[in-house]
Homo-oligomer: A and B are copies of this chain.
Amino acid sequence: MDVHVGGVMAAESGRAKRTTYRHGDLRNALVEAGLELAREGGPEAVVLRAATRQAGVVPNAAYRHFADRGALLHAVSQAAMARLARTMEAEQAEQAALPPAPDAAAAARARFRAVGTGYLRFAQEEPGLFRTAFHVPGDMTYAADATAAGGSGKTPFELLGAALDGLVENGLLPEDRRPGAEFLAWSAVHGLAALLVDGPLRGLLPSQAHDAGQHVIDMIERGI
């Protein structure tokens, strides 16, 4: 039941064992290994030797694909950000599919709330990846960095912007309040996420965390 990928024998789980001298897709394998490490230990756990070990390769082989450990970590961080984007997109899709077709304003509002709900869900389900996504900041705010985007080609920040635009278009947010609104919404949701992931709210049950998330999003809708 092994799967061949360019000369790689990948057991269905655990580390790969190669049958060929060449690996074939080492760069991706290292990023994937890095994600696995980050999932459990956050950015500090993205250790070059551990990643190569998991890819079934000698440590210095990584240097064919990354300048140094920082470059690997950066790639992993971008990949984690892309996963965040995908979770947000999935949440939006789910919300859109669920109930009987509502009016356009209700749909825009649901899309906005799904942005926050998806963000929080990702933080709770994948705290290690969440922390890793935000570890190498760069400028993901403005740049449309494709490697940090989800299926729609939008980064998390761009998804939020689009949702806010939807609120304005449907008269749910006055146009003069639009500028800078992403930072207000983002701060509130990101803060709850940080408190849940790292901080003193770490012990909350998933249902409690969900409720807290809905309350925070309520506050944003009122206060934005």
A interface residues, Cβ below 8 angstroms from B: 44, 134-135, 137-141, 157, 180, 183-184, 186-195, 198-203, 212, 215-216, 218-224
Q: Which residues of B contact A140 (CB under 8 A)?
A: 200
Q: Which residues of B contact A201 (CB under 8 A)?
A: 141, 183
Closest to A157 in B: B200
| Residue in contact with A137 in the complex, picked from B202, B218, B223, CB distance below 8 Å | B202
What CA separation (Å) do A194 and B224 show in the bound complex?
19
- Docked-complex contact B216 and A187, CB < 8 angstroms: yes
Residue in A44, A187, A194, A218 with the greatest tally of chain B CB atoms within 10 Å: A187
* Contact present for B223 and A218 (CB under 8 Å): yes
- Contact A216:B184 (CB < 8 A) given known A222-B222, A223-B221: yes
Q: Min CB distance, A54 to chain B, in Å? A: 23
**Further contacts, 12 of them, CB under 8 A, given A141-B201, A183-B201, A190-B191:** A134-B199, A183-B192, A183-B212, A186-B191, A186-B195, A187-B191, A187-B195, A188-B188, A188-B216, A190-B195, A191-B191, A219-B219
Given contacts A188-B219, A224-B223, contact A139 B200 (CB under 8 A): yes
Residues of B within 8 A of A215 (CB): 180, 183-184
A207 vs chain B, min Cβ distance (A):
15
